[in-house]
Amino acid sequence: MFGFLFHNKREEVRKILHGRMNRSYMQTLDNKDRHASRGAFCEVVWVIPIDGDTQRPDFTRVQTLVTRDISTNGMALIHNRPIREPRIVVGLRDETYPRFIVCDLEHCTELGYGHYVIGLRPDNVLRIEPDDVDAMEQTLRQAEHAVEEPVSA
């Protein structure tokens, strides 16, 4: 009897996940260019805001975010607060050296529960000096150590 109840619950979970997968897949079938070659892409990236006055990256404000999806025309990030800067730099890991892409903010859409999806349109590749990369890595290491212990459930 218990095996039967467990099987029914597993089937319900499978149906929920199957529905979610179908909805996600249907979004990729849109005829618009935005969705044409878009695919899931989950990776930690560096995000560096560009100062509006100087139009230069502000390396002291580097942070890490998680990507949602990517295409040749753009990418989406997930964040726990909105991004207001009209231009940012996204740092992607590469085999030898991180690659930095200047992006324009397309949208910042609330997902709920304090999370946002940030839509970006890539504009240009930016060469960042190794000393600046080292300084950003140091800033991120310090921020990582300053994080409080996670709350247990």
pLDDT digits (tens, 9 = 90+) for 40-86: 778 899 999 999 888 899 999 999 999 998 877 888 999 999 999 99
The verdict on pTM exceeding 0.95 is: no
Phi, psi of 73 (to 5 degrees): -100, -5
103 vs 50: CA distance, rounded Å: 10
Contact status, residue 124 vs residue 101, Cβ threshold 8 Å: yes
Phi, psi of 65 (to 5 degrees): -135, 170
Which class is domain 37-146?
Answer: mainly beta
- Domain ranges for the chain: 1-30, 37-146
pLDDT digits (tens, 9 = 90+) for 85-125: 999 999 988 777 788 999 999 999 999 999 999 999 988 88
